Structure 1
Amino acid sequence: MSRKIAILIESDFYEHEIWYYHYRFAEAGLEARFVSRLWGQPQITFKGHEYHAPFECRDSFEDIDDQALADYGAVIVPSGMVADRLRYTEDLSRLPPAAAFLQRAFARPDLLKGIICHGLWLTAAVPGLVKGRRLTCHPNLYGDALAYGAVFVDEDVVVDGDLVTARTGNHAHLLARALVERLG
């Protein structure tokens, strides 16, 4: 299995979670690649939610085609407002690019998908991705999970095959542990 993990990033990210992934995955010998929509720019500096800490992103998920996606072992949709910002689309007749990327990830059962807290929002445009799947999410998204047809489980971390979910950004260590164990 691949040793690379794509982690979506945007402004209003939860700093503790993002920095934890940066160090934890490196410690496990995994390569954390932070990806976003760069809007044709070579890089964008995003600001965190609590401390407004800057985070520079140089990789676009729009550059990850199906062949390149095969080089990844996992994709993570983090907590905070990342998913809400990434579900923007200028053409309402098309899926938001980040949702389309996630849809391609879900089409690969060999690729782990990690969704934590409000990250579940990114599935709103494609609720069939989680329909019938066991998951957890932030309590504020409980109704969203049910509306998407998911089976909500009241636990801090839930594993349903290739889908690993965690309740809040404060449970990033549990999500990371579950992914590291599966990536071996």
Structure 2
Amino acid sequence: MSDVALREGPLSGTRIAVLMESDFYEPEIFYYRHRFAEEGARVDFLTRLWGQSELTFTGHEYRAPFTVDRGLDRITDTGLREYAALIVPSGMVADRLRYTDDVERLAPATELLRRAFADPGVVKGIICHGMWLASAIPEVVRGRKVVCHNNLLGDVRNMGAEYVDQDVVVDGDLVTGRTGAHHHLFARTLIDLLSRRNTQRKEA
């Protein structure tokens, strides 16, 4: 459920990955699906498929269904570099995706996020409760400026991040947003950042 009509724009040829699970915030997810397409970007929704060909999740507010058929645990480093940005959305998505059946290993979604942080070419977008997904890899945000939902303030400080009281915060290749209700501001910031990166590549 990722293909929509793309408009020619500053993000033409760009791919953006959004992690998904149940209890997602519908206004945010459906906004991303169409707003990035307006700028020319293709949006892929990724999840842990648990051996299935696809899974249908339900939203938190309206129980809206959303089917995902792309598995995050099969993405190689080369495949990851095809994405200009990886977004960890709000709601309970991060909490569900950080589950690991082997406590000695990172959850597949957390491992994917760790690899994304190792590549500055991939912009990391984390909003609201999305920072939960990074809780097992605090080193990736240690010393970095972030904002999150007020409920996670203690978490991000314990992770060593520097909390900034703004709706959206940019720290290099990391963009963070305060709550799911700020998804439009968060998306606007990502669009501007990715557009600048595209212009710089073309001029290089």
Superposed CA RMSD in Å reads 0.9
- TM-score, normalising length from structure 2? 0.89
Unpaired runs of 5+ residues, structure 1, are: none
Partner secondary structure for residue 46 of structure 1: strand
Residue 91 (structure 1) aligns with: 102
Residue 131 (structure 1) aligns with: 142
Residue deviations 1:114-167 (CA, integer Å, cap 9, x gap): 000000000011011110000000000000010000000000000000000000
Per-residue deviation at 1:63?
A: 1.6
Residue 111 (structure 1) aligns with: 122
Per-residue deviation at 1:183?
A: 1.4
Per-residue deviation at 1:99?
A: 0.4
Unpaired runs of 5+ residues, structure 2, are: 1-10, 196-204
- TM-score, normalising length from structure 1? 0.98
For the pair shown, which has the larger CA radius of gyration, 1 or 2? 2
Cα distance in 1 for partners of 2:116, 2:145 equals 18
Cα distance in 1 for partners of 2:106, 2:89 equals 19
Per-residue deviation at 1:64?
A: 1.1
Per-residue deviation at 1:174?
A: 1.1
Partner secondary structure for residue 89 of structure 1: coil
| Identical counterparts, % of pairs | 58
Residue 78 (structure 1) aligns with: 89
Partner secondary structure for residue 90 of structure 1: coil
Q: Aligned AA for 1:123? A: A
Greater length-normalized contact order (CA 8 Å, ≥ 6 residues apart): 1
Cα distance in 1 for partners of 2:181, 2:98 equals 23
Q: Aligned AA for 1:153? A: V
4+ aligned runs moved over 2 Å, structure 1: none
Residue 7 (structure 1) aligns with: 18
Per-residue deviation at 1:108?
A: 0.3
Cα distance in 1 for partners of 2:178, 2:28 equals 13
